[in-house]
Structure 1
Amino acid sequence: MRQAIRGISGIAGRCRDVRVREREYGRVGLRRRVGEGRWAGRERRRGIRRAADPGIEPLRGSGGVDRRARKAVGLVTLELGQTSRPEDLVEGDPHALGEQAERWEVQARSVVAAAAEYRKAVPEVWEGAAAEAFSAARERHLTRTTAAATAYREAAAALSAHAAEIAAALRVADRAIAEWSRGETATAAARRKHDDEKARAASTPFALPVLSVFVDPGVAIRDNAEALLTDARAAVSTSDGDTARVLRTLTGRAFTGSVFGTAPLPAGLAEVMAYAGEKKLLRDLRRMSGSELEAYAAAHPELLDRLLDLGPGHIAAWWRKLDDATRSRLARSIPRVVGNLDGVDARTRSEVNERMLTKDIAALEDELERLRRTTDGLAPGSRALFDRLIEKDEKLLAELTAIRRAFGGGPEGTPPHQLYAYQPGEHTKVALSTGLIDDAEHVSLIVPGMGTTAGDIGRYAKASENLLRLQSAVSGLGASKIAVLAWLDYKPPMALDVSGVLGNDLAEAGADRLVNTLQGMQAIKGWEAQSPHLSVVAHSYGTNVAAVALARPGGGAGNVVMLGSAGVSGGAPVAAALHVPLGEVYATQAVADEWAPIGQALSGRTDPTGAAYGAHVVTSEGTTIDGREMKCVDSHGPFGNGAGLSYLDEYSAAQYATAKATMGQGATLPHDGDPDDRSWQRTENRIAKWGR
């Protein structure tokens, strides 16, 4: 029922004024701010308060949304004294719900009419076993169709009742606003009278003293107003859960299968279609008009997840079979899906994501301007609410601007870039390639570690450019045939997130995404799972993400390089557990990198540079490789702080080793020492620095 409930909720409440996120961005994907991280359990499906029955999920936007969750994404419901509009106090749009109920009633009539035509489909002169078999099959379909029509009608009735409950709550909220205003007026009048009496007593000799304690007659009136509003909200919440319960019971009866064959989809069939099977979903998406696609995606925010669950290989085969007009219609109508759907070619994804990025930046700039105008002249208490929204928008705008800057001239730039993934939100996810993936004969993915945000994409894009240039130099393959993808498409732990850093939940979630990305790359390029044309380069916490992904049955690459690993979890206990060719797991850790061993020790994860792990350990110290003088890595981060270099910096020993390993020349790299050797060297360095 969950999809059906979401289908309704996508049409339900329309937040206004301060609740700008849902109105401005609900259909373009920024609603994913609740719980970001999918992707480990599809977190866009979280953040919704449960009703009294823990198995019932309230309708989003119709009154049952947890206010803390809404505040987390900027969808704020105001309180008495902050607004004079009832719709700001009670969530839900009875008019929109009523319209949806009417659409379902119309749909019920449409299904009944189609069934009646279907019943006439057999000529009376047709007899025999085939005719009997057809009639039996037809009756089974018609039984399901009748159940679907009845379910539509009952769902429409339930939704109409819920709309009426919200309308009643809005009327009560209007009364509460009037009561609150009356209380404020009473308070102001009493305050003036009290102040006047005090002033008169102070100026009149021998006057009787005035009570110094001010008795506010407006308190009781405002308390009554708050009680009215509380009761109204409670009624909406109860109705919310009851409506969800009714809709849940109707789900099974609203499944029509392929009753209508290849006939055009009746408007509003999206809720039923969600249960018609994933293959049918692809078939129906191909047949939908642009407006139907937009409506379906709005009603089903889980659409991208469902398509990703089909597997990139399946998606790639489906996408290749579509004609140009259909691909264009899908890209235009459901861009947030197509732009992040593994199995779709990189050129299409980049074009779609660039368009969405431009649109989002413009919308954020407009919203910030409007919010700043709104705050002019507001009292400090009211202004604080808007200031929080402004701060959140400014942070997001800074990230999107960083992506825009890193994207540069796009595919036509020097170097060329493609925006391979783009999901803005509380933790914006992005994947930016340097080099054109569609034209590349070799692709490397850089998986970042702890503390990385979309705002760092510029530095990773530069690191990608440097690595690409070095890969071309060591291999002789033209730079135009190489692409490096800065893969910031998962949620890593932040610096203060101790449980996230030491745990593996975020790595597991990131591995979900990485497996899909690798499979998608293999599908669009026609490469096998362990193709030497595909490499993974991971740093710090990202090495755990990469190891978990490559240890899964669907994961695979030609080689993997682990830089400054914070340890890999038990899901990938040895190098042989990874789905890469024998001898193609590389690891390095600098002597000056003291954070990596701390992360390994505190988390209990395995050091991939240890002998037991079985990786080819290469050096990060100053050395000469192939006659080239390489500089040492002197910190843990991916980039140096200006005074020194780190793993992904140009001219570092780690960067050169990475280029060699990813281009199939890792076997020529000399082996480096083990963790004990580095520990001894650290001790010697401390003694040399501080004295014995």
Structure 2
Amino acid sequence: MRLRSRESRRYRGNWKDRSKRTLIAAALTTTVVAGTTGWAVGNEEQPITGPPPGTQAWRADHTQGVRLPDPATASPARVDAFFGSLSDARQRELAERHPSVVGNLDGAPISLRYEANSLSLKAERDRERARANDPDLTRQDHERARSLVARYEELLDPGRRILAFDPRGRGQIAEVYGDLAIADRVSVIVPGSDIDLSTFDRTSDKYGTPAGMARSLHAAAGDRTAVVAWVGYTTPVGLGPDAATGRLAEAGAPRLARFVQGLTASGAPRPAVFCHSYGSVVCGLAAPKLPASDLVVLGSPGMRADSVADLHTTARVWAARDDSDWIGDVPNVELFGLGHGTDPAGPGFGARRVPAERAEGHTGYFAPGTDSLQAFAAIAQTPSGTAPGKNGIDGSESSAGARPIGERS
């Protein structure tokens, strides 16, 4: 009885310690969200969900003599099989009649999606040109329309491969760097806050954008690797409440999973998925349904998981964080919907460590000459089912059981 009493007191003491740590962490999280450690107040965004624009007309189209696969419910594998049953001419007819659906239909042929998105971009450009000269609209409307015309013209430049385009909300897009048709390996970049149609390839803070990351990774990994910059979810604006909760990530995770399923259904190898900042929250929630060879998180606030095992993925999981990244000051908690949990780069999570000693700040991981980019390229170059060799990487030791890069499974 006395022993049981001591155990009871010890349990109560441990519970009090855990509760105290939790309360402290909650207070720290609230402080972070308030902006005292570098997080700025942001707007609350309404996520874009559901099937692409034009779905209603697509569902009503029976000119092919068969029911078209429903963009909301048909699996990418079902979509791939449907298009495989059509001639090239019939595929193009569908793309011409329903460009906004075909251009965003995961599982549709890659080249057909490029064509469809070119048609969608031209249609949106022409619509905004008309708005720019509409006398019934305000000056602000005219300026917005002219800005969009310029944006769409840029995206229509010859040689650009636009794999997804949705003008709703702040706009979503996916662009391919390299040639998916002949690539032996594929990577997908998933961005964090403040990224949309207008900012995904901005020239300022180049390596903090998915386009800059994708270009840099493609240059480092070589032409046998294609890289997709994916902006297919509504990202937080600023680093306020939206960035501190999982609401937008929960809306984005199914979209990411479906997009990657569409790549593999179309014949691409399982990709390495690189997840930056808030994008790693999206990746963590998508992980169980994500057919990825590797999940690589960088500058992560957490993945809404306590360990690699909690991700329920067969992918290898890697984590990078440099000492100058302010994300390291964000408390790794998840309480009352705030915070994103355990640090993937920290002890005990179980991720393989990616060296990042030469990276600078929160957006410097893909900068040329960094050890992190070198490691990312080695991961991106590795075929599915094999482990990356050192390939010039020093294989620095991991922390608390996490495997270093270069170590085999």
- Do both share a fold (TM > 0.5)? yes
8 Å Cα contact 1:402/1:455 also seen in 2: no
Deviations 1:386-424 (A, max 9, x none): 1342354345445434534xxx422xxxxxx41100011
Distance change (3 Å), C-alpha of 1:504 and 1:285: farther
Q: Which amino acid aligns with 2:298?
A: L
The DSSP-based 3-state class of the residue aligned with 2:290 is coil
1:509 counterpart = 2:251: yes
What is the rounded CA distance, in whole Å, between the counterparts of 2:93 and 2:331 in structure 1?
48
8 Å Cα contact 1:403/1:454 also seen in 2: no
The DSSP-based 3-state class of the residue aligned with 2:345 is coil
What is the rounded CA distance, in whole Å, between the counterparts of 2:298 and 2:397 in structure 1?
13
Deviations 1:410-457 (A, max 9, x none): 2xxxxxx41100011321000000112122221100001011122233
Q: Which of 631, 635, 644 pairs up with 2:361? A: 635
Q: Which amino acid aligns with 1:488?
A: V
The DSSP-based 3-state class of the residue aligned with 1:438 is coil
Distance change (3 Å), C-alpha of 1:589 and 1:337: same
8 Å Cα contact 1:536/1:561 also seen in 2: yes
Number of aligned residue pairs: give it. Answer: 337
Deviations 1:588-638 (A, max 9, x none): 0010001344164561422101222110012211xxxxxxxxxx222113x
Distance change (3 Å), C-alpha of 1:538 and 1:393: same
What is the rounded CA distance, in whole Å, between the counterparts of 2:219 and 2:186 in structure 1?
13
What is the rounded CA distance, in whole Å, between the counterparts of 1:599 and 1:409 in structure 2?
45
Residue 278 of structure 2: aligned partner = 541
Q: Which amino acid aligns with 1:619?
A: P
Q: Which amino acid aligns with 2:158?
A: G
1:652 counterpart = 2:363: no
CA RMSD of aligned residues (A): 3.0
The DSSP-based 3-state class of the residue aligned with 2:295 is strand
1:452-467 equivalent positions in 2, closer than 5 A:
452-458=195-201, 459=206, 460-467=210-217
Residue 316 of structure 1: aligned partner = 80
1:42: Cα distance to partner? 6.4
What is the rounded CA distance, in whole Å, between the counterparts of 2:170 and 2:399 in structure 1?
36
What is the rounded CA distance, in whole Å, between the counterparts of 1:488 and 1:504 in structure 2?
17
8 Å Cα contact 1:338/1:352 also seen in 2: yes
Q: Which of 600, 610, 625 pairs up with 2:346? A: 610
What is the rounded CA distance, in whole Å, between the counterparts of 1:599 and 1:366 in structure 2?
49
1:566: Cα distance to partner? 1.7
What is the rounded CA distance, in whole Å, between the counterparts of 1:565 and 1:422 in structure 2?
27
8 Å Cα contact 1:342/1:521 also seen in 2: yes
1:595 counterpart = 2:327: yes
8 Å Cα contact 1:339/1:352 also seen in 2: yes
Q: Where do 5+ consecutive residues of structure 2 fail to align?
A: 1-44, 401-409
What is the rounded CA distance, in whole Å, between the counterparts of 1:368 and 1:509 in structure 2?
33
What is the rounded CA distance, in whole Å, between the counterparts of 1:535 and 1:579 in structure 2?
16
Q: Which amino acid aligns with 1:607?
A: D
1:520-559 equivalent positions in 2, closer than 5 A:
520-525=262-267, 527=269, 531=270, 534-551=271-288, 554-559=289-294
1:505: Cα distance to partner? 1.4
Residue 342 of structure 1: aligned partner = 106
What is the rounded CA distance, in whole Å, between the counterparts of 2:52 and 2:161 in structure 1?
27
What is the rounded CA distance, in whole Å, between the counterparts of 2:117 and 2:52 in structure 1?
21
Q: Which of 20, 40, 64 pairs up with 1:286? A: 64
Residue 356 of structure 1: aligned partner = 120
The DSSP-based 3-state class of the residue aligned with 1:427 is coil
8 Å Cα contact 1:596/1:636 also seen in 2: no
1:309: Cα distance to partner? 1.9
What is the rounded CA distance, in whole Å, between the counterparts of 2:331 and 2:381 in structure 1?
29
Residue 449 of structure 1: aligned partner = 192
What is the rounded CA distance, in whole Å, between the counterparts of 2:100 and 2:294 in structure 1?
31
Residue 145 of structure 2: aligned partner = 393
What is the rounded CA distance, in whole Å, between the counterparts of 2:53 and 2:87 in structure 1?
32
The DSSP-based 3-state class of the residue aligned with 2:188 is strand
Q: Which amino acid aligns with 1:38?
A: I
Paired-residue identity, %: 26
What is the rounded CA distance, in whole Å, between the counterparts of 2:174 and 2:389 in structure 1?
29
Q: Where do 5+ consecutive residues of structure 1 fail to align?
A: 1-34, 46-269, 275-280, 294-302, 376-385, 411-416, 473-478, 622-631, 638-645, 676-692
Q: Which moved more, 1:430-439 or 1:659-668?
A: 659-668
1:660: Cα distance to partner? 1.1
Deviations 1:561-591 (A, max 9, x none): 1111121114xx3213445546x21100010
8 Å Cα contact 1:433/1:461 also seen in 2: no
The DSSP-based 3-state class of the residue aligned with 2:266 is helix
What is the rounded CA distance, in whole Å, between the counterparts of 1:402 and 1:357 in structure 2?
10
What is the rounded CA distance, in whole Å, between the counterparts of 2:142 and 2:313 in structure 1?
47
List structure 1 segments (4+ residues) > 6 angstroms apart after TM superposition.
42-45
The DSSP-based 3-state class of the residue aligned with 2:199 is helix
What is the rounded CA distance, in whole Å, between the counterparts of 2:331 and 2:130 in structure 1?
43
Distance change (3 Å), C-alpha of 1:661 and 1:557: same
What is the rounded CA distance, in whole Å, between the counterparts of 2:255 and 2:325 in structure 1?
28
Distance change (3 Å), C-alpha of 1:595 and 1:323: same
8 Å Cα contact 2:194/2:235 also seen in 1: yes
8 Å Cα contact 1:308/1:341 also seen in 2: no
Residue 48 of structure 2: aligned partner = 38
What is the rounded CA distance, in whole Å, between the counterparts of 2:248 and 2:396 in structure 1?
31
What is the rounded CA distance, in whole Å, between the counterparts of 2:190 and 2:348 in structure 1?
24
Distance change (3 Å), C-alpha of 1:395 and 1:491: farther
Q: Which amino acid aligns with 1:569?
A: R
The DSSP-based 3-state class of the residue aligned with 2:369 is coil
1:485: Cα distance to partner? 0.3
8 Å Cα contact 2:234/2:248 also seen in 1: yes
1:409 counterpart = 2:158: yes
What is the rounded CA distance, in whole Å, between the counterparts of 1:418 and 1:558 in structure 2?
23
Residue 567 of structure 1: aligned partner = 302
What is the rounded CA distance, in whole Å, between the counterparts of 1:423 and 1:471 in structure 2?
29
The DSSP-based 3-state class of the residue aligned with 1:456 is coil
The DSSP-based 3-state class of the residue aligned with 1:420 is strand
8 Å Cα contact 2:52/2:100 also seen in 1: no
Q: Which of 627, 651, 661 pairs up with 2:379? A: 661
Q: Which amino acid aligns with 1:635?
A: G
- Could you say which structure has the larger radius of gyration? 1
What is the rounded CA distance, in whole Å, between the counterparts of 1:556 and 1:451 in structure 2?
26
8 Å Cα contact 1:38/1:44 also seen in 2: no
The DSSP-based 3-state class of the residue aligned with 2:174 is strand
Distance change (3 Å), C-alpha of 1:613 and 1:336: same
What is the rounded CA distance, in whole Å, between the counterparts of 2:313 and 2:396 in structure 1?
19
What is the rounded CA distance, in whole Å, between the counterparts of 1:356 and 1:526 in structure 2?
24
